[in-house]
Amino acid sequence: MRKWIIILTGVATLALVNWTITQRENQITNGKVARLELAPVDPRSLMQGDYMALRFQLSNEVQRAITEKKEDAQDGHLVAKPDANGITRYVRLHAGESLAPDEFLLRYRVRDHQVKFATNAWFFQEGHAKIYEGARYGEFRVSPAGEMLLVAMLGKDREKLGPALPSTP
Amino acid sequence: MANARDEILEWAQQGHIPPEHMRSALEKSGALPDESQWRTFFDKVLLSMGAVLLGAGVIFFFAYNWQDLGRFAKFALVQAPILAGLAVVWKLGIDGAPGKAALITITLLVGALLALVGQTYQTGADTFELFAVWALAILPWTLAARFPALWLIWLALVNVAIGLYFNTTGRMLGMAFRPDKLMWVLFGFNTIALAVWEGLAAAGVTWLRERWAMRVMAVASGYLATSLAMHDILDSPRGFPGGLIAWFAWMVVSFCVYRYVVKDLFVLAGGLLSLILVVVTAILKETRFDSAAVFLVIGLIVIGISAAGGWWLKQVASEEESA
């Protein structure tokens, strides 16, 4: 009996993990594309050997909107919209209202007084820093709930830099 | 507990056993392990080392081949040994040593798998979530396995999760992070865990009767109680001395329990250490570290408490032997 509890919950754990993996894979292939413009960062702290620190323009706009509200900064969603070049632009903070057809949600977290979209770092193979030096945009795939996954870095003409990550097997 | 070895050593000290007969006395009394005991010992050591090294081997293998493995290969590489471990549990059951070793290994691998998924798909989830999910995933195993070591791993995971959670939310709300709040929560958690464990063991749950596990928890709980008392003395001398009160209560209760109910010299000795630390902290705070004489006094106090404590512990120990 106890043995079976262990085996069944073990298999259930693996099943749940694999279900999560398929959800994420699904988001990477079918999620809505969001291209966020990078904000300039102090170049000395930009490249860290095997990753590059990221800061997006949108963070500043969210930061400003939160400061105007004069509330404690908390996690939330913002409403975004692509511009003519396909770059995602800030519209407003989301307060539960329904969206126009071209608008979509992005989830942000506030950590260490900074607005963060999914991740603050782009990881690459050590020695590949040169490839990403000219990065101007980060490309995300977004779920309907606004959950974001960073999938690629783009150059100034919105071309993909380096091997697409997470690299396909 | 009063074992033959101590008794024989005492007789030898008093000259009742001549040195040339020491060895045979120890062998005859069973104080020296015989062949089969050695074999069981080696079996256990090799099994647990094998289990740990196997887990480490899997992790190092994919760390080393990180670039050459696709992400699905990595997932498979961690999941396959988890399935193999479950198969071991299926074939050999959970009460024997191999089943338990397999369970420890796959417990660690579940953590590795969760970390790998989190690393591959960076959703921005906080680190405490990893430890919380890990603890949640192994909770059914912990409940079913009747295995103290697994409970300790579970308690450690919950401790880490609580610590990271406070770290994240403390900063998130933009308030000054108050370390004593975290210490209070961890003190409460570990003390309750210890009390429940001791209670169940006393109530007749025999597989919980592993003194070493309870000692680990007593160290955690006592360490936090001592830290709270020291925090009160050093950082908020004018505030409500909640930490000092908690520490004092902890000392009184654990003295009563480990002196008269369970009798555990290890914990009693830890209590003495805690007493020394708190007394010395209080003196240093009062005198503001300002004269050499203070250090002489402190030295004497430390010597005094340790000597008296050592004598007292010996007293308690011999009482145990004659009992």
Residue-range domain boundaries for chain A:
1-30, 32-161
Residue pLDDT, tens place only, B42-91: 988 898 888 888 888 888 887 788 778 888 988 998 999 999 999 999 99
Residue pLDDT, tens place only, A24-77: 999 999 999 999 998 876 655 566 667 888 888 888 888 888 888 766 677 889
Q: Is the pLDDT of residue A168 over 70?
A: no
B95: three-class secondary structure by DSSP: coil
Contact B75 A147 (CB under 8 A): no
For residue B174, what pLDDT is reported? 47
Selected residue with higher pLDDT from B200 and A156: B200
Q: What percent of chain A has pLDDT over 90?
A: 25
B218: three-class secondary structure by DSSP: helix
Out of A13, A72, A147, name the one closest to residue B137 (CB): A13
For residue B320, what pLDDT is reported? 58
Q: What percent of chain B has pLDDT over 90?
A: 45
Q: Which one, of A139, A100, A97, lies nearest residue A119 by Cα? A: A139
| Residue B216 near residue B267 (C-beta atoms within 8 A) | no
Q: Does B83 contact A at CB distance below 8 Å?
A: yes
Mean pLDDT value of segment A137-163: 88
For residue B152, what pLDDT is reported? 94
Residue pLDDT, tens place only, A79-99: 998 888 889 988 888 888 888
For residue A165, what pLDDT is reported? 52
For residue B150, what pLDDT is reported? 93
Give B-chain residues touching A15 at CB under 8 angstroms: none
**Sequence-ordered strand ranges (E) for A72-113:** 76-82, 88-93, 104-111
Gap from A28 CA to chain B (nearest CA, Å): 9
Residues 121-180 of B with CB under 8 A from A: 121-124, 126, 137, 140-141, 143-146, 168, 171-174
Q: What is the pTM of this model?
A: 0.84
Best residue in A6, A109, A126, A153 for a mutation probing chain B (most B CBs within 10 Å): A6
Residue of chain B minimizing CA distance to A1: B144
For residue B95, what pLDDT is reported? 87
The distance of Cα B116 from the centroid of its chain, to the nearest Å, equals 27
Q: Is the pLDDT of residue A169 over 50?
A: no
Residue pLDDT, tens place only, B117-152: 998 888 888 889 999 999 999 999 999 998 999 999
Q: Using the 8-state DSSP alphabet, how is residue A38 labeled? A: B
SS3 sequence, B260-303?
Answer: HHCCCHHHHHHHHHHHHHHHHHHHHHHHCCCCHHHHHHHHHHHH
What is the average pLDDT score of chain A? Answer: 84
Q: Is the pLDDT of residue A166 over 60?
A: no
Give A-chain residues touching B90 at CB under 8 angstroms: 3, 7
For residue B241, what pLDDT is reported? 85
